């Protein structure tokens, strides 16, 4: 009977939940590992009665055994999710009510480190020359380069860059940009010379009259620019430049922080530049580069130093 219920559960996940085949296979494999464990411990085939009699201690013992066999936290999380899904399915269909896993603590996972680009890769993404010969209007290429320059040169999120108004444009002698970040909080970030030049080049080529309170970056028809347009531009450049799939607009923000830290940037200052509410969020970058921290933004950022030489 249990075999048929497992098949029904998998069909439910595939049909109603539309789960990917790989996820379904992993869930079913994790569930069968659990059932094999219960069978081995009890010495008899597992049915609904045996599952209903399981205790929380036995559920925790299973997870501990998986951990000892080399399963990592992410594998345990996925396995726990699959088992709980099956048990909820049994309860929802009226077969059994099994509470053994209800209060089992979720394994903690190490936070994934951001994927930073190299300095050269980040520069290439925000350089109009990387798209030479592309069949797109020069102003569009300049616009995309300006957006990406803000992400890498100032550490902005793409939503923050696209939220800038024409009046916010860092041009001329303006070397600071103020953005609206997460939680409605505003912050200011220094704007280095190469970034200002990129924004100015875009404005010089832009065919639209941009009102002061309107968006700084506009689409082909003059309306607000969609983040998806920038994402697609980066996808095209990945292929042309031979960059990995981890090269995304958001990776430029990670690269900003990683490169600053690697060149002696002060962690507290980087926190403020990124707009992180907590220093612990920024400290993830120390796992990437543990060099001694200094405080100077201008001397740390590779594009700032390149601009100074020019």
What positions carry a catalytic annotation?
A: 157, 182, 250, 253, 276, 285
Phi, psi angle pair for 288, to nearest 5°: -85, -40
Q: How far apart are CA 304 and CA 197, in angstroms?
A: 12
């Amino acid at each position: 009977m249990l075999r048929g219920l497992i098949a029904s559960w998998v069909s439910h996940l595939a049909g109603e939940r539309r789960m990917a085949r790989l996820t379904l296979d992993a869930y079913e494999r994790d569930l069968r590992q659990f059932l094999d464990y219960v069978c081995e411990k009890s010495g008899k085939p597992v049915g609904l009665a045996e599952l209903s009699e399981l205790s929380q201690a036995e559920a925790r013992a299973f997870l501990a055994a998986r951990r000892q066999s080399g399963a990592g936290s992410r594998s345990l999380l996925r396995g726990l999710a699959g088992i709980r899904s099956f048990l909820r399915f049994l309860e929802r269909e009226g077969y059994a009510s099994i509470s053994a896993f209800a209060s089992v603590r979720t394994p903690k996972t190490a936070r994934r480190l951001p994927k930073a680009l190299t300095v050269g890769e980040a520069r290439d993404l925000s350089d109009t020359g990387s798209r030479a010969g592309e069949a797109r209007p020069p102003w569009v290429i300049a616009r995309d380069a300006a957006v990406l320059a803000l992400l890498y040169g100032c550490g902005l999120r793409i939503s923050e860059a696209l939220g800038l108004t024409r009046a916010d444009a860092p041009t001329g002698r303006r070397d600071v940009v103020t953005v609206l970040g997460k939680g409605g909080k505003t912050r200011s970030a220094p704007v280095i010379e190469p970034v200002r030049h990129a924004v100015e080049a875009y404005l010089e080529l832009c065919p639209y009259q941009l009102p002061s309170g309107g968006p700084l970056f506009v689409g082909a028809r003059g309306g607000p620019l969609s983040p998806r347009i920038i994402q697609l531009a980066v996808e095209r450049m990945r292929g042309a430049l031979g960059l990995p799939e981890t090269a995304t607009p958001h990776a430029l923000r990670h690269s900003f922080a990683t490169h600053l830290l690697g060149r002696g940037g002060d962690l507290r200052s980087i926190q403020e530049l990124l707009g992180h509410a907590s220093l612990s969020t920024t400290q993830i970058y120390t796992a990437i580069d543990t060099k001694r921290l200094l405080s100077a933004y201008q001397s740390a950022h590779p594009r700032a130093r390149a601009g100074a030489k020019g």
